[in-house]
Amino acid sequence: MAWLQLRVFTRTPDFAEELLSAHEAAAVSFIDAADSPILEPLPGETPFWPDTITQAYFKEDHDLAPVLAALREALPEREALRTETLLIEDRDWVRVWLEHWPVQRIAEKFWVVPRAKRHEVTEADATVLLLDPGLAFGTGTHPSTYLCLEWLAQTDLKGRTVLDFGCGSGILAIAALLLGAERAVCVDIDPQALTATRDNAAVNGVAERVTTLLAEDFQAAPHGVLVANILANPLIQLAPLLASCAEPGAPFALAGLLERQAEEVRAAYAPWFSFEPDGQREGWNRINGRRQ
């Protein structure tokens, strides 16, 4: 089965989503038309790029004429409608996904691998974290996630309880368990993130050692290791809370911030933490050290 892809070029993409869905679009998504960065939004926010392409997918025999007419009528004043239509052949999207997701060596004996590519890691003593296609959250390819995985691989985790605050896919907590931690507590604002975490923990055989909590249900208590891969502003706001979640001497890592944001985040944590040299990758920064 093929699909019709309708691309709408507009500076006001929010008006198009509801209209396209009402005209039986099977899916609607947004992509950047000008390579402008955008960070993960805070809860309740839905920011767009300055130049956004709205993409809608319809069955190949769908009549697009009424859709285009409705778009023209609903378009804000003084904005011309620009669209493109493309026929997309159906494909084995899992196979396509696998082709573009590499096997990643994080440290000498530590790998993050799509489950279908497990056979590509041949070392008998390798520690391998497995992930599945369709994951809605972190896969380890983002520089910020990589920096946290790298740090975990260099940290003594044996017997410790790890707090992964803003856990997303749970990749960091699961990595910590595979690398020697005793237990992991995973906290996120998104229920889907907790579902992804539990699923990935089961795939990696560590489900019984993972506790998942919505942020609203989390009660601060000291943990042996702290990792938070979120964003600079939330990290700054959460500094007192996260300080109360790390026991004295506990190693910690903060990520999800750009290099230019590092000093402001560091200043927020300075009353409670000592610092070691930062990690950097592709413009992203990791702050790490120990609870005083």
Is 12 annotated as a binding-site member?
no
Question: For residues 155 and 160, what is the distance between their CA atoms, to the nearest angstrom?
Answer: 11
Decide: 131 and 94 in contact? Cβ < 8 Å: no
**The tokens of 155 are what?**
């940290």
166 known ligand binder = yes
CA–CA separation, 186 and 201 (whole Å): 11
Q: Is 204 labelled as part of a ligand binding site?
A: no
The reply to whether 188 sits in an annotated binding site is yes
Phi-psi domain of 8 (left: phi exceeds 0; alpha: psi -120 through 50; beta: other): beta
- The two tokens of residue 64 are 């697009």
Burial of 124 (0-12, 13-18, 19+ CB in 10 A): exposed
Token reading at 218: 């989390």
Residues at the annotated binding site? 145, 166, 188, 229
Residues at the annotated binding site for S-adenosyl-L-methionine? 145, 166, 188, 229
